[in-house]
Chain A
Amino acid sequence: MELTTSLGLIVPELVLAVSGLIMLLFAAWGGNEASKPVSIACCVALGGAFALVAPSVCGGYSGPGTLAFYGQLRIDAFAGFAKLMIYASAGAALVVAPRYFDRLNAMKPEFAVLVIFSALGMSIMVSAADLISLYIGLELTSLASYVLASFLRDDDKSAEAGLKYFVLGALASGILLFGSSLIYGFTGSTSFAGISAGMAGGLSGGMLFGLIFVMAGLAFKISAVPFHMWTPDVYEGAPTPVTMFFASAPKVAAVALLARVSLEAFGSQPDAWQQIVTFAAIASIVVGALGAIGQENLKRLLAFSSINNVGFILIGLATATVAGASSMLLYLVFYVAMTVGSFVALLMLTDAEGKPLETFADIKGLSTTRPALAWCLLLIMFSLAGIPPLMGFYGKLVVFQAAVEADLIALAAIGIAASVIGAFYYLKFIKVMFFDEAVDRVQGKADKAQWALLALATLAISPFAWLLTGWLASLADGAAAALFFAA
């Protein structure tokens, strides 16, 4: 009985796992010609999983009925909300990838399969209710990601990115495992509920060590300062569609996982980790903003921008309130839209032979040669800078609102003042595209799928989306409430 219920709960994951395995077989026998059908099939699988998860979010599922496999997984609205974002961004990566790899003759069907497995791992991550399932999900995601980063085998930079990601990722996993073992040793449980109960009586030195190691391991995965060093190199070296994937889906998953671990497993001792998160938040905002200023490479710049954004998301976590968790989810929604939009725009910047252009010098005066693309980028950049009426501002609004409600006024004031530094390099983007003389290097044609994605992302961050905020906020509140129901 338990098994049937559990299997019923994880149908979306089953869909992904089974289709991933089947596609792997296809890929093994079909060769490179199978790339296109495999990609399409994987998109369909992701779409199916998306549709299957949606009801749990709309219904705000929470409570004991969401536990599967004797408390290993928790399939609640919070996990569902994160999964929707993960599947959407994985799907976006699949849509834009073939064109990029085709030019290099590097398109292989394994790409789509790896993305699917990575998404599956992320599903497990965000649903994890136990340190064991947490680790399984995390490693499944990471292993797939390492391969994806070095997907262009002949390219030195891509190989370097993969290697760096692997070495540092393995180290982070090791730290996380060490922390987990300490926590297990001192609380006697691997389940989040058990850990929370074990910590309720007080925090011993061993537990504190374990907690710090677990937080450090997870901070690496979300690339929060001071565990952010790998991000610019990996983002720059990895193929652009993969970078887009890294900047969106795994980030959502790791943030959701961090929230679940902090609020469920360590929920009885919020004071112990709030300081850590607060520090990481402010450090990420400042380092992300300052680091981006000197960058000439657009991918590196967006890497720093993602570090900067993680800082704002962590402010929501630092509150340790329902409103804070809800604000993180809302911020993530628009962060994903902005990230996908900016990377799709980046993919559309190619010269006449289709070679990607990645520096500021290449996009000078883009607004006169490619007005539509430049205006979309302008909206996305102002949105990233958090200027109203664009939706990036809404993300900041909810996060800072949660911080102020939780009486973290100093954190909010410092965070928002530092965001002005960030505005500087987003403005540089606009300055280069709109104020400088045109160089007309961007010659390549973009396909319809790219335009559609860019238009969709721009629409999502445009002022029209304000009309959706009421509905989105209620969904996010339901999801956050589910998280706290469990805790």
Chain B
Amino acid sequence: MSGVPILSLMLLVPLLGAVACFFAEAKLARTIALVATLVNLALGIAMWASFDVGGAQWQFTERADLFGSFQWALGIDGIALMLIMLSVFLMPICILASASIEKRVGEYMAAFLFMEVLMVGTFAAQDLFLFYIFFEAGLIPMYLIIGIWGGADRIYASYKFFLYTLLGSVLMFIAMLWMVNVAGTSDIPTLMQYDFPVDAQTWLWLAFFASFAVKMPMWPVHTWLPAAHVQAPTAGSVILAGVLLKLGGYGFIRFSLPMFPEASAQLAWLVFALSMVAVVVTSLIALVQHDMKKLIAYSSVAHMAIVTAGLFAFNVQGLEGAMIVMLSHGLVSGALFLCVGVIYDRLHTREIDRYGGLSINMPKYALFFLLFTMASIGLPGTSGFVGEFLSLAGIYQASSWVAFVCTTGIILGAAYMLYLYRRVAFGEQKNADAAAMPDLSVREWVMLGPIAAAVLWMGVYPESFMAPMRADIAALDARLASARPEGDARLWIGEPAPVVEEEAHGGAH
């Protein structure tokens, strides 16, 4: 595989597709978009198949001196591989989910394919500036997707999304310039090993935090997310929840932690505090929502808070758990938005009260919805359980109080998700129009089926997903080792319990 620049190909295919869609008629554009995303999925599977687990840290690397001050540098490790797989897996499903789009289809498909280019590029970039370009350029298609094809209040949502994320990122940009100036290189693998002065790390960490915390999103800068989710078209929500939120977590794991370990340790309390607040507050907010999309959006914030707490636990379980939560949440929340989209297409409302008793007239739909609801809660056997258990085990080693508060998120999660499910799928069929809705079509089957399979796969045999990442997480853990004691001195409560560690390992395998 060494001869084929597979990552560049994965960028080129959707890019060409986007250009073609831009000029194509509606029907042709749908076909082109589906073909391009499927080709990319095939390329992704080929890449995963030829990924050498336990081999070099960075694989499929490409270097070309195309630009003046930085390089066209691509390459992936296991973490990036998994996130790229998530992106290319969700994309064809998004295209299928866009059947109800009738306005300006060509441009819509072009925006989605362009989005895919940028997502894959962000995860694959090995040059700091190249990363920033991909990372930031994602604003353009997403702004248009929300603004052109969104709901009634789309303009406010699109502005909020754009300006929030832009303000976060520009500070990171200055920090990047400083780092490149000091380290003399913009090569990410080199920078990951570079020891920045400890006093500067705090500032750099905060600048990166400004960007990733908004992207993640962390409480209290999460308010753009419900607005954006509610207004975006279904496929837009799927991409937003499925992949774009992962950019924040990826940023923490790729930049904040390895590049500024000391600052991360010093400021872990901040992340923990915000995460604890987020888990409880956003879960409670989710409990009282009347709009299905808003409810799932708030639940995303709560899940992402477990990711951030897990990342800053500074141990292998926390990091692995955070990664699995991210992958799992990408699938599950994407699927939940699709489930909302399915009934929204039929009844054109997201009001929970307008539905009821759907398990009677839509049994297949109710089954899928139940599976994803349970996965979101973290039922054993689904992907949600693996990730949440691992990350909570990791958090517990760092601070039992943080683990305690974060675990309430699971309980509250069960509350709001089951409450949602009861109101939508169970009970009386009190609305005649909702009772008359037909069950899943073939197209919807094809959308939800693969995600359900992936969710179960990740829940039953997570090793497939953890194996490629294991060496990278171990390397990151080793990198963090020197900083850990300083952080732990304040965070550790009571005696370190070896039993917990054993349990955690038990959960991992």
Contacts and interface: CB of A to CB of B under 8 A. Distances in A.
A435 to B, nearest CB: 5
B282 to A, nearest CB: 26
Given A400-B174, A417-B171, A467-B66, A435 B137 contact: no
Contact of B68 (A417, A434, A469): A469
B356 to A, nearest CB: 34
A23 interface: no
A404 B180 CA distance: 10
A360 to B, nearest CB: 14
A474 B67 CA distance: 11
A435 B155 contact: yes
Most-contacted residue by chain A among B68, B133, B163 (CB, 10 A): B68
Given A388-B136, A420-B163, A431-B147, A473 B69 contact: yes
B494 to A, nearest CB: 42
Nearest to B154: A435
Given A423-B163, A469-B67, A470-B67, A431 B158 contact: yes
Given A420-B167, A427-B162, A389 B68 contact: no
Interface string B139-173: 11001100110000011001100110011001101
A473 B69 CA distance: 9
Contacts of B181: 401, 404-405
B177 interface: yes
Contacts of A474: 68
A387 B140 CA distance: 8
Nearest to B144: A434
Contact of A416 (B129, B139, B143, B170): B170
Given A420-B167, A435-B154, A404 B136 contact: no
Contact of B177 (A388, A404, A434, A466): A404
B461 to A, nearest CB: 39
B329 to A, nearest CB: 27
B71 to A, nearest CB: 11
Contact of A388 (B133, B148, B180): B133
A435 B173 CA distance: 29
Contacts of A417: 167, 170-171
B68 A472 contact: yes
Interface string B472-503: 00000000000000000000000000000000
B132 interface: yes
A420 B68 contact: no
B445 interface: no
Contact of B69 (A382, A424, A427, A469): A469
B147 A400 contact: no
Interface residues of B, number: 34
Contacts of A419: 170
Main SS of chain A's interface residues? Answer: helix
Nearest to A470: B68
Contact of B163 (A413, A424, A472): A424
A412 interface: yes
A203 B136 CA distance: 46
B214 to A, nearest CB: 12
Contact of A387 (B134, B136, B154): B136
A423 B166 contact: yes
A393 interface: yes
Nearest to A436: B155
B173 A416 contact: yes
A34 interface: no
Contacts of B154: 435
A177 interface: no
B170 A427 contact: no
Interface string A422-436: 011001001100110
Given A382-B140, A420-B163, A435 B148 contact: yes
B66 A466 contact: yes
A434 B147 contact: yes
B404 interface: no
Contact of A389 (B133, B148, B162, B171): B133
B178 interface: yes
Most-contacted residue by chain A among B133, B134, B158 (CB, 10 A): B133
A215 B180 CA distance: 33
A424 B148 CA distance: 17
A413 B158 CA distance: 25
A62 B291 CA distance: 68
A409 interface: yes
A376 interface: no
A409 B133 contact: no
A401 B177 contact: yes
Contacts of B147: 430-431, 434-435
Nearest to A467: B66
Contacts of A17: none
Interface in B82-140: 104, 129, 132-134, 136-137, 139-140
Nearest to B167: A420
B236 to A, nearest CB: 14
A412 B174 contact: yes
A471 B69 CA distance: 11
Contacts of A388: 132-133, 136-137
Contacts of B140: 382, 387
A397 interface: yes
Contact of B129 (A397, A431, A471): A397
Contact of A431 (B65, B155, B171): B155
A409 B178 contact: yes
Contacts of A416: 170-171, 173-174
A406 to B, nearest CB: 10
A466 B129 CA distance: 12
A453 B65 CA distance: 30
Nearest to B164: A420
Contacts of A382: 140
Given A393-B133, A404-B177, A412-B174, A387 B67 contact: no
Contacts of B180: 401
Nearest to B177: A404
A473 B68 contact: yes
Contacts of B104: 368
A259 B21 CA distance: 46
A478 B310 CA distance: 50
Interface in B287-303: none
Nearest to A330: B68
Given A409-B178, A412-B177, A387 B163 contact: no
Nearest to A474: B68
Contacts of B163: 420, 423-424, 427
Contacts of A413: 171, 174
Contacts of B134: 389
A228 to B, nearest CB: 24
A423 B132 CA distance: 17
Contacts of A435: 147-148, 154-155, 158
Contacts of A387: 136-137, 139-140, 166
Interface string A403-415: 0110001001100
Nearest to B147: A435
B174 A389 contact: no
Nearest to A400: B177
Interface in B172-215: 173-174, 177-178, 180-181
A469 B163 CA distance: 28
Interface in B54-89: 65-69
Given A397-B129, A405-B181, 19 more contacts: A368-B104, A387-B139, A387-B140, A388-B133, A388-B136, A388-B137, A393-B133, A398-B69, A401-B180, A417-B170, A417-B171, A427-B143, A430-B144, A431-B155, A434-B147, A469-B69, A470-B66, A470-B67, A473-B68
24 contacts: A387-B137, A400-B177, A405-B181, A409-B178, A412-B177, A413-B171, A416-B173, A419-B170, A420-B166, A420-B167, A420-B170, A423-B162, A424-B163, A427-B143, A427-B163, A430-B143, A430-B147, A431-B155, A434-B144, A434-B148, A435-B148, A466-B67, A469-B67, A470-B67
Q: Top 6 closest A-B pairs, CB basis? A: A473-B68, A470-B68, A388-B133, A469-B68, A404-B177, A416-B170
